Structure 1
């Protein structure tokens, strides 16, 4: 009985995420032009995302029921629905069940091609399996609160986060106890005061010039910071699926 209760508690802890970058800074208007605000039918920001080509945005599969994305602005108070907003069709990974079982990735097919230019540009994806050294400097970005129970910000924030060796990450999560799903990587939130928290879900982990991860889950609502690493979906494990969907232009 206690084991069942623990599993239920862990599930709620993992899924109670929202939209925060902790100890970040404002993103300059001419950088991270691939960032997307994933929004619901009311025009509310629900998750982050990132543009990978003229037709598709990547986000997390647990960002359920998005209807549009906003591209081309870092300030969500400055949205031109005629030029910034794109309706989307959702392409959830077919093996996704919930965050604790993995495969937390979704493609959003834009209703029209993104207007690439000095405000909108796609980000590169890795060409092979992600192999980064422990403590490699990466970046995570998003909109929302800037500290636990803090104030919402409409301006895109970014934080530098150290890559965490996967075996170290697994060991720390096993102490919770929780077994990480397959096809994940880790960065920030462990021996660091920077990372993501509630609702940055779907945003990219960028290392060098490549988006290598998709924000998936963290532990609890405490962002100040629990001593377990932040967990991302490993994009390199899904390159074939992304290429297939992109080629046929539909889910």
Structure 2
């Protein structure tokens, strides 16, 4: 069984009018090697592009914004990007409604070229049930290999930080034209959240991947007084299941 903390993490995002792509974990810590075994690095020919999560033996969930480059493979089974084995990406699925991250639907499903064996280094993470409600101020986790400061560099060792869920009405008041199907957590009066390179990673609450890292404000990671945005996974369960049977 996976430890509850092993299932907790998230990542972030992008947007227009001040919302931008996101990469790294701010004011977090290194993830113990026996936790978050579902974390995935989605890569192109040059290395890490964004985060993702393993939801079955041959499917990874990430952010649609990550498809701006030629994605080739994923790395699982390690928290250190200098290690691990690559598995090729066979196919990519994005919602038909997706146009750009600032308009929402920032979620993507990757079908792998093979089923990966689950073991003491690789595990899947649970997805929420349809209609699942996340409580305001609920403590959750986000993780990634992104920058640890606005002007910093990405990291090789996976890092995580705890963030609190923010009331959606407060989030709408802070963001102009907030996309639909979003969860807000982190940022907004705290010094914790994600940064460039963390997009596609999960927001994990009680061992369940409830969100996908999507956007923050103006590449500023340390930290603007506005909430970070995640794609609400519970709104896309039917779409995910339909692609998994193709």
Q: Please, what TM-score do these two structures have when normalized by structure 2?
A: 0.90
Q: Distance in 1 between matches of 2:154 and 2:102?
A: 27
Among 192, 195, 200, the alignment partner of 2:190 is 192
Contact in 1 for aligned 2:148/2:195 (Cα 8 Å):
no
3-state SS in 2 of match to 1:245: helix
Partner of 1:170: 172
Q: For structure 2, which runs of at least 5 residues remain unmatched after alignment?
A: 1-14
CA-atom RMSD in angstroms? 1.3
Mapping of residues 96-135 of structure 1, within 5 Å: 96-135=98-137
Partner of 1:11: 16
Contact in 2 for aligned 1:37/1:49 (Cα 8 Å):
yes
- 1:14 deviates by 2.4
Q: Number of residue pairs matched?
A: 229
Contact in 2 for aligned 1:206/1:212 (Cα 8 Å):
yes
Partner of 1:210: 208
Q: Distance in 1 between matches of 2:22 and 2:220?
A: 11
Write the deviation string for residues 210-242 of structure 1: whole angstroms up to 9, x where unpaired: 000000111012111111100000000000011
Q: Distance in 2 between matches of 1:67 and 1:217?
A: 23
3-state SS in 2 of match to 1:167: helix
- 1:18 deviates by 4.1
Contact in 2 for aligned 1:130/1:234 (Cα 8 Å):
no
Structure with larger RCO (C-alpha < 8 A, sep 6+): 2
- 1:127 deviates by 1.3
Partner of 2:73: 68
Q: For structure 1, which runs of at least 5 residues remain unmatched after alignment?
A: 1-9
After TM superposition, the runs of 4+ consecutive aligned structure 1 residues lying more than 3 A away are: none
Rg larger in 1 or in 2?
1
Mapping of residues 12-161 of structure 1, within 5 Å: 13-15=18-20, 17-40=21-44, 42-64=45-67, 65-79=70-84, 84-88=85-89, 89-161=91-163
- 1:43 deviates by 3.9
